[in-house]
Structure 1
Amino acid sequence: MVLALVAMIVLVFVNVVLRYGFNSGISISVELSRFLFVWVTFMGAVTALIRQEHLSVNTFADKLPAAMRAGLDRLVALAMLGCCLMLLKGSYAQTVLNWSNLSPISGIPVGVLYLAGLMAGVLMSLILLWRLLTPLALHAVTPRVAPGHASDSQGDTP
């Protein structure tokens, strides 16, 4: 993801300098940047799921007893798995449908864009299945910090 992000920055920056400074440009940079952006977005979603860093509102869930919280966490994981399976199914259909369509400038199959969603759907489904089938996997990656006990970047508590 870092390499793709750096490549996007370099492509766009060089293209802007060439267009405004020299009245020319790299025509392929727009398409490559778009392809890389889609891949970075989907792989970022996978990374956030692994680290349990997706946005969540836990106001209600934090007040539940541990047993009910575990059941709610499993229910949420099942709902997320259902969404990931829908993403997987739709992305697969679009990848197959658009694989023979080529981008006008780069010649890269348009299906590569949808392949990012397919890969993300597969990876996130596997992560969620692992969490559902492994005891304590729902909370093993990132311990939840109690309100008022957040630490700063040096690890000191205020």
Structure 2
Amino acid sequence: MIRATRVIRRDRLSGGEIVDRIVLDSGDRHRRRMAMRGVGGTQFLLDLAEAVALDDGDALALEDGRLVWVEAAPEALLEIRAPSPLALKRLIWHIGNRHIPAEIGADAVWIADDHVLAEMVRGLGGSAEPVTRPFRPEGGAYAGGHAHDHVHDHAHAHPHPHHHPHD
């Protein structure tokens, strides 16, 4: 099986033959080694020296020089907002206290869709609306040490959380 041994970041992508694309959720966008199959059928082994957080628009370089485009899969999330910046900070604290992956924006936070957490947020005065979009959770203090080192025969979602660094 051909291997993908390098990541080319979207801002450094300058040409090259894009032969396929791979659509991955936030968990599968942070890997070191994993068998993958592109949307067009290209099969390859992701085989990096260390786990890397892939983002929408990056490319994986196959050993023969061809490229596979990385696309962030839309995921079912909750978009959490609050009536003031202080109220949002409090909500972020409560979410963080539950040790769940979260993507923090300037005026909103996104977490995996969870009805219990949605009710908690609403009970604390915030809003929690379901949205479908790519998820880019914060990496956390120890993100550099987190890596997967197992092989799967196809791209799929995992039921367990992952923590990923941002660009």
TM-score (norm 1): 0.22
Query: Greater strand share, 1 or 2?
Result: 2
The structure showing larger relative contact order (alpha-carbon pairs under 8 Å, at least 6 residues apart) is 2
TM-score (norm 2): 0.21
